[in-house]
Amino acid sequence: MDWQGQKLAEQLMQILLLASAVVAFASGYAFGSFQTMLLTYTSGVVVTTLITVPNWPFFNRHPLKWLDPIEAEKHPKPQTASSSSKKKASKK
């Protein structure tokens, strides 16, 4: 799953859970049954899970291009200075 796919999955999860909560509340209120409300919401959570958890192809529309190992060796990672040497330099 790529970065845009993760964002899409998160947005779908939020929208579907909110929609199932609204439908569950309305059905529970209309039937006057707490059990109906819970069953409706539970089914919404299951549907949301089935849509957002698996790695569906529409979550992979923007694949990342990784750097080849040979190219990575040609361009070594820059070395960062340790924080203790910066502190000592600033105290002087």
**Alpha-carbon distance 32 to 41, whole Å?**
15
Tokens 């529970």, residue located: 28
Q: How far apart are the first and last CA of the chain?
A: 50
Neighbours of 38 (CB within 10 A): 12
Cα-to-chain-centroid distance, residue 17: 14
Asked whether the whole model's pTM tops 0.85, one would answer no
Series of mean pLDDT values for 10-residue runs along the chain (92 residues): 88 96 97 96 96 86 79 74 57 52
Q: pLDDT tens, 40-64?
A: 999 999 999 999 988 888 888 888 8
Q: Residue holding tokens 């899970």?
A: 49
Cα separation, 79 vs 56, whole angstroms: 39
Structure tokens, 79: 């070395």
